[in-house]
Amino acid sequence: MSCEADASAAIRDRGLRVTTPRTQVLSELMHASDHVTARDMVQRIETAWPNTTPSTVYRTLSALRDARLVSETLMADGETIYQAAIHGSHHHANCRECGGVIDIPNQYFSDLQQRLDSDHGFLAELDHIAISGLCERCRE
């Protein structure tokens, strides 16, 4: 299946109407080798599909985030980054000094999710967690 077909299927599976902007944005994020800022996404989309406006890209990112197809992270430097999340949760540890990012496996948070449910009846949506701190190099 093509990336566009995968994106369309994921959008449909979340109960959203499949639109060209949603398919374009999600497909671009699925192709991205790293995290992407909204500004980067606007540039990518405008290059590939010149008739798509920046406001459409921003609204689409928000809709995909709300549908839990895209993760949105506020980084230590104040920049917001996006990443496709169609395959599940994604977490980061962000160094507030150098801006470095460490990907954290979802299993680090499974006990927290279970404890919140059993102790408080709270169903936590731990789709994306960003933890700020200092990396090993910056601690020295």
Which CATH number fits the domain that encloses residue 113?
3.30.1490.190
Percentage of the chain exceeding pLDDT 90: 42
pLDDT reported for residue 1: 54
Contacts of 97 (CB under 8 A, 6+ apart): 134, 135, 138
Q: What is the pLDDT of residue 13?
A: 92
Residues 26 and 40 in one domain: yes
Same domain? 15 vs 82 = yes
Provide the token pair at 119. Answer: 């102790």
Provide the residue range defining the domain that includes 75. 1-88
Reported as type and span, the H/E element at residue 6 is helix 3-13
Number of domains comprising the chain: 2
CA distances from 29 to 17, 85, 100, 124 (A): 18, 9, 20, 25
Q: Which two structure tokens, joined as six digits, stand for 118?
A: 């059993």
The predicted model scores a pTM of: 0.72
- The percent of residues in the chain predicted with pLDDT above 70, rounded, is 96
Whether 81 and 94 map to the same domain: the answer is: no
Residues 76 and 99 in one domain: no
pLDDT tens digits for 61-113?
Answer: 999 999 989 988 877 677 888 888 876 666 888 888 898 888 888 888 888 98
Beta bridge partners of 131: 93
CATH number for the domain including 37?
1.10.10.10
What spatial distance separates the first Cα and last Cα of the chain, rounded to whole Å? 47
* Integer angstrom CA distances of residue 19 from 27, 56, 134: 12, 11, 41
Q: What pLDDT, in 10s, does the model give residues 48-68?
A: 888 889 999 999 999 999 998
**At how many degrees (to 10) do helices 38-48 and 54-66 cross?**
120
CA atoms within 13 A on the CB side of 135: 15
In the numeric block, which tokens belong to residue 64?
Answer: 């995909």
